[in-house]
Structure 1
């Protein structure tokens, strides 16, 4: 037998137990550091990834469960956009809109003294189309005109209303009304690009 091993076997029992304990501690530390700890780190990383994936699954299920509602909301938004688009005409529709305003005034029994479009005022994605209007008729005719304009399918704002030259003819009150009718139109892509270019 090897002489070193003989010395080891001849040691007292206490020393043998101490050496055995040291060997067990070194082996346990090596096992912990090189086998157990990497596996625990890997397990923790996988557990975190599993938690993330489960959360994604729950989010996707919630979205999938609400998909019919989202589709319905999307369809409603499309309808709302189409309705909004009908209220803001494009460049080609402006003359017919101005004709509609004029027809509403004539239909209400007013005499047009002035109907003069002003230059357009470009904004972000639309342009204001102002029109100076002067009409003559009874108060009721003027009220009917304003109601008819409010019922047009396009947005038309009437402001800067000034009543002048009020007179009584055969028991009826006639008035001259000056106002500014403003409608709006979408700017097309070419106009938007021109607006964004520095002047």
Structure 2
């Protein structure tokens, strides 16, 4: 009986015409292709989609990292700029009296100007609300134009230094006693000058403005 059924089925397929056989083959091919798509291509497509999402995520992270790098470099440049500014401001207005540096700056300008610094006396500090005055009494001698050059040079140093209470005394007979070669009609005036040079310093956070005076530090040079 089974043999008869198989024979009947086989004879049924064989009984199909050529177009029918082609149609059956086409249907079979489509079914195989559909199975391949579902089993293989669908999984590949899923993997590709996941990789695209991962790539997009990495690109987003890279953009954020680049933006963070720009912000970091900007902050780094700003930090360096502020450090340079703070260093420059500290030269102009230090937070300590720095009397030796103060005196050294004055002596350097005096040497360049050609005058003689005969004496210097650091005085007591005068605290104000946000800063303190650091005064120093000076006595110097030289030619008048050299003294003028000295005062101009003091105004060019990094630290703020005011020259106050300037008293100028002409030294009579100094031109005649010197060995300078002067042109006809030219006259050199030698002077002695007493003045108050005042530098400034910033008050520290622990210091209160308008407090007690601090005694000046340094040494006094004897007049020659």
TM superposition score category, shorter chain reference: 0.5 to 0.7
Extract unaligned runs of 5+ from structure 1: 1-70
1:176 aligned to 2:189?
no
Which residue of the partner structure matches residue 92 of structure 2?
A: 87
Q: Which has the higher helix share?
A: 1
1:1-199 → structure 2 map (5 Å cutoff): 83-91=88-96, 93-167=98-172, 168-170=174-176, 171-192=187-208, 195=211
- Per-residue CA shift, 1:105-130, capped at 9, x if unaligned? 12211112221111000111211001
Q: Is the 8 A contact 2:128 2:209 kept in 1?
A: no
More divergent stretch after superposition (130-139 vs 170-179): 170-179
Q: Is the 8 A contact 2:129 2:210 kept in 1?
A: no
Q: Is the 8 A contact 2:124 2:134 kept in 1?
A: yes
Q: Is the 8 A contact 2:161 2:199 kept in 1?
A: yes
- Per-residue CA shift, 1:7-55, capped at 9, x if unaligned? xxxxxxxxxxxxxxxxxxxxxxxxxxxxxxxxxxxxxxxxxxxxxxxxx
Q: Which has the higher strand share?
A: 1
Instruction: Give RMSD over aligned pairs.
Output: 3.0
Larger Rg: 2
- 1:80: how far off? 6.4
* C-alpha distance in structure 2 between counterparts of 1:80 and 1:113, whole Å: 36
- 1:83: how far off? 4.3
TM-score using structure 1 length? 0.53
Change (3 A) 1:92 1:180: closer
TM-score using structure 2 length? 0.48
* C-alpha distance in structure 2 between counterparts of 1:173 and 1:86, whole Å: 35
* C-alpha distance in structure 2 between counterparts of 1:178 and 1:166, whole Å: 13
What SS does the aligned partner of 1:192 have? coil
Extract unaligned runs of 5+ from structure 2: 1-73, 177-186, 213-224
- Per-residue CA shift, 1:146-167, capped at 9, x if unaligned? 1110110010001111111333
